[in-house]
């Protein structure tokens, strides 16, 4: 459930970047305050462990689908929320850069979905509330299972909201929710069981690791309040500023261009048509524009010729031709550069 750059708008991407960057800064400060040098290599190596285990796809019986471990919950339980958040973020950075899983702009969304929810919501408010300071087998299983399920449900819902606010896909909200939540419930249960098994194993083999984490002060209510307030401010500022910018600059500008050029076109029948058309066609392929063009095209019918009774045949054909030509040029530039590289070497 990695979000991809192709599916989000700049406003959504930037808002969650700001939120995740703020959380990384906050966690880094907390990590420094904890001042436990021992954790430096442990965090790195545990993140590598999670990365390795994530490659093991397990099939979910009777569904025919497969899932892989998010691992955020295991890291939170073994390292505590702040170190775990940094570790999850580092795994996601490597996945984005090396495997194109997610993307650079969507990295903020992914860190938030897979790091914030397990580390700062499910761990303190579910796992710690169930387990408290008395580690027993039953409590560990119940806590891990509940926390993993809730963390993943919130993460999946995050994906739905981010997709919805970006508006790139046509997926209707209700359908998407009904698609995402049950799938992630199944994955969450499996992940919760695996998490519980791993934590139980650590509890039996190296109990001191779990006790060390419980000794570190849990995230208090006051602490969380600062985090949430900071997040809210960051979201409001970046989201507000960027969505205003996004809506008024490119789209708004194009809309304005469309409106003005459309009107002018109707006033001046043929003379200015050619020059104005180039303005108008910058917004080609806009759906509501297609209808407008139909009205306009009646006037310019003789120009585009009777053989094309099209909505905007001229635009479509020249668009296709131009697209092909640009592609061809790009490929030629690539071949040229490659040839130069080879001959130089």
Partner 1 sequence: MSLFLVLGVFRMNNIGKKYFDLEYMDILARGRSPLHRLDPRAKLMTTLLFIITVVSFGKYTLLALIPFLMYPVFLVSAGGLPAGYFMKKILTVLPFVLLMGIFNPVIDRTIVARVGAVDISGGWVSFLSILLRFFLTASSALLLIALTGFNAVCGALTNLGVPKPFIVQLMFFYRYLFVLGDEAHGMDRARALRSSPAGMVRTKTFFSMTGHLLLRTFERAERIYRAMNCRGFDGRVPMLQPGRMSVRDFGFMAGWSFLFFAFRVYNVPLTLGEWLWGSLR
Comparing CB distances to partner 1, the nearer of 125 and 164 is 164
- 156 binds partner 1, rule: CB under 8 A: no
**Nearest to 138, CA basis, from 210, 208, 200:** 200
Q: Which of residues 98-117 bind partner 1 (CB under 8 A)?
A: 98-101, 103-105
Comparing CB distances to partner 1, the nearer of 59 and 268 is 59
Q: Which of residues 15-44 bind partner 1 (CB under 8 A)?
A: 24-25, 27-29, 31-32, 35, 37-38, 40-44
Q: Which of residues 305-324 bind partner 1 (CB under 8 A)?
A: 305, 310-323
Tokens found for residue 202: 């650590």
Q: How far is the CB of 289 from partner 1 (least distance, A)?
A: 7
Comparing CB distances to partner 1, the nearer of 11 and 122 is 11
State the angle between helix axes of 287-299 and 252-267 in degrees (0 to 180), rounded to the nearest 10.
Answer: 10
**Nearest to 144, CA basis, from 89, 85, 202, 74:** 74
Comparing CB distances to partner 1, the nearer of 153 and 166 is 166
Residue 60 β-bridge partners: 65
- Residue pair 47/87 in contact (Cβ under 8 Å)? The answer is yes
- 45 binds partner 1, rule: CB under 8 A: yes
- 56 binds partner 1, rule: CB under 8 A: yes
Q: Which of residues 192-221 bind partner 1 (CB under 8 A)?
A: 193, 197-198, 201-202, 205-206, 209
Q: How far is CA 63 from the centre of its chain?
A: 26
Q: How far is the CB of 130 from partner 1 (least distance, A)?
A: 19
Q: Which stretch binds partner 1 (CB under 8 A): 120-128, 189-197, 219-227, 265-273?
A: 189-197
Q: How many residues form the binding site for partner 1 (CB under 8 A)?
A: 115
CB atoms within 10 A of CB 207: 11
Instruction: Out of 133, 134, 170, 343, point to the residue binding partner 1 (CB under 8 A).
Output: 170
Q: How far is the CB of 290 from partner 1 (least distance, A)?
A: 4
Comparing CB distances to partner 1, the nearer of 44 and 269 is 44
State the Cα–Cα distance between residues 96 and 102, nearest whole angstrom: 5
Q: How far is the CB of 336 from partner 1 (least distance, A)?
A: 8
Half-sphere exposure of 299 (CA within 13 A, CB side): 16
Q: How far is the CB of 215 from partner 1 (least distance, A)?
A: 18
- 326 binds partner 1, rule: CB under 8 A: yes
Q: Which of residues 75-94 bind partner 1 (CB under 8 A)?
A: 86-87, 89-91, 93-94
Q: SS3 of 66, please?
A: strand
- On the 0-12 / 13-18 / 19+ scale of CB atoms within 10 A, 128 is buried
CA 273 vs CA 188, 253, 260: distances in Å: 60, 21, 13
- 172 binds partner 1, rule: CB under 8 A: yes
Q: How far is the CB of 162 from partner 1 (least distance, A)?
A: 11
Q: SS3 of 194, please?
A: helix
Q: How far is the CB of 119 from partner 1 (least distance, A)?
A: 14
**Percentages of the chain per state (helix, strand, coil), in multiples of 5:** 80, 0, 20
- Residue pair 127/147 in contact (Cβ under 8 Å)? The answer is yes
- On the 0-12 / 13-18 / 19+ scale of CB atoms within 10 A, 41 is exposed
Q: How far is the CB of 245 from partner 1 (least distance, A)?
A: 10
**Nearest to 81, CA basis, from 45, 32, 30, 36:** 30
Q: Which of residues 229-288 bind partner 1 (CB under 8 A)?
A: 246, 250-251, 254, 277-278, 281-282, 284-287
């Amino acid at each position: 459930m990695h979000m991809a750059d192709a599916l989000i708008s700049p406003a959504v991407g930037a808002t969650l970047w700001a939120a995740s960057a703020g959380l990384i800064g906050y966690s880094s400060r907390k990590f420094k305050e904890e001042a436990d040098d021992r954790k430096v290599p442990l965090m790195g190596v545990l993140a590598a462990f999670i990365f390795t285990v994530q490659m093991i796809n397990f099939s979910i019986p009777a569904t025919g689908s497969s899932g892989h471990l998010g691992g955020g919950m295991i890291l939170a339980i073994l390292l505590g929320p702040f170190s775990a958040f940094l570790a999850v973020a580092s795994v996601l950075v490597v996945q984005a850069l090396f495997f194109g899983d997610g993307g650079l702009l969507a990295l903020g969304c992914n860190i938030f979905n897979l790091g914030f929810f397990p580390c700062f919501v499910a761990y303190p408010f579910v796992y710690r509330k169930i387990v408290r300071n008395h580690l027993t087998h039953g409590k560990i299983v119940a806590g891990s299972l509940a926390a993993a399920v809730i963390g993943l449900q919130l993460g999946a819902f995050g994906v739905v909201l981010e997709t919805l606010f970006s508006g790139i896909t046509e997926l209707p909200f209700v359908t998407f929710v009904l698609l995402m939540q049950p799938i992630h419930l199944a994955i969450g249960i499996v992940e919760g069981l695996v998490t519980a098994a791993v934590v139980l194993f650590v509890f039996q083999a190296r109990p001191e690791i779990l006790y060390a984490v419980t000794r570190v002060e849990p995230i208090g209510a006051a602490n969380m309040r600062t985090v949430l307030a900071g997040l809210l401010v960051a979201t409001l500022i970046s989201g507000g500023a960027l969505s205003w910018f996004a809506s008024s600059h490119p789209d708004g500008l194009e809309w304005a261009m469309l409106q003005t050029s459309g009107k002018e076109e109707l006033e001046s029948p043929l003379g200015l048509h050619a020059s104005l058309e180039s303005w108008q066609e910058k917004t080609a392929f806009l759906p509501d524009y297609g209808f407008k063009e139909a009205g306009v095209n009646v006037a310019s019918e003789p120009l585009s010729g009777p053989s094309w009774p099209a909505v905007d045949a001229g635009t479509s054909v020249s668009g296709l031709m131009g697209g092909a030509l640009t592609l061809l040029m790009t490929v030629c530039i690539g071949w040229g550069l490659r040839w130069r590289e080879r001959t130089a070497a």
